[in-house]
Amino acid sequence: MSYEKNATVIDDTIYDLVNETFEKEKNTGNPDFRNNFFNKNTGFFVLTDDGSYSVNSKEINNKIETLHTSTGAISESFEKFVKPLKLDYDNDIAILDICAGLGYNSSAAIANFIENDGKSLKIDMVEISKPTLACGLLAPSPIEAHDITRKAIEKQLIKEDYASLELEDCDIPENIEINVFIDDARQTIQDLEDDSYDAIFLDPFSQNMAPELFSLEFFNEFKRVIKENGIVCTYTSSAPVRAGLIEAGFHIGKGPVFGRKQGGTLASPNVEMLDYSLPKNDEIRIALSDVGIPFRDPGLNGESSEILESRSEERKNARHNTKISSAVKTPIFLGVDMDDEKLKRRVERNLAKMNIPSTTSEEAFYVIESEKSYNEKQSKNNNSRSRILDMVEKLDEISKS
Q: At what angle do helices 384-400 and 280-288 cross, to 10 degrees?
A: 40
What is the widest separation between alpha-carbon atoms in the chain? 77
Taking CB under 6 A as the rule, which mask of x and - marks residues 165-194 in contact with ligand SAM?
-------------------xxx--------
Of the candidates 205, 250, 295, 333, which one interacts with ligand SAM according to CB under 6 A?
A: 205
Contact indicator for 268, 299 with CB cutoff of 8 Å:
no
CA distance 24 to 33: 7
Nearer to ligand SAM among residue 230 and residue 302 (C-beta)? 302
Looking only at residues 279 through 308 of this chain, which bind ligand SAM when binding is defined by CB under 6 A? none
Pick the stretch among 83-91, 202-210, 291-299, 330-338 that binds ligand SAM (CB under 6 A). Answer: 202-210
Of the candidates 21, 48, 52, 105, which one interacts with ligand SAM according to CB under 6 A?
A: 105
Of the candidates 14, 18, 67, 176, which one interacts with ligand SAM according to CB under 6 A?
A: 67
Residue 253's beta-bridge partner residues?
A: 266
Nearer to ligand SAM among residue 100 and residue 163 (C-beta)? 100
Looking only at residues 125 through 154 of this chain, which bind ligand SAM when binding is defined by CB under 6 A? 126-129, 132
User: Count residues contacting ligand SAM (CB under 6 A)?
Assistant: 25
Task: Find, among 274, 278, 310, the residue nearest to 294 by Cα.
Answer: 310
Contact indicator for 145, 152 with CB cutoff of 8 Å:
no
Residue 185 beta carbon to ligand SAM: minimum distance, rounded to whole angstroms: 4
Residue 210 touches ligand SAM, criterion: CB under 6 A: yes
Query: Residue number with the shortest CB distance to ligand SAM?
Result: 101
Question: What is the chain's length?
Answer: 401
Residue type, 25: E
Query: Kindly report the CA angle at 262 between 260 and 267, in degrees rounded to 5?
Result: 115
Contact indicator for 278, 241 with CB cutoff of 8 Å:
no
- The contact set with ligand SAM (CB under 6 A) reads 7-9, 67, 77, 99-105, 126-129, 132, 184-186, 203-205, 210, 213
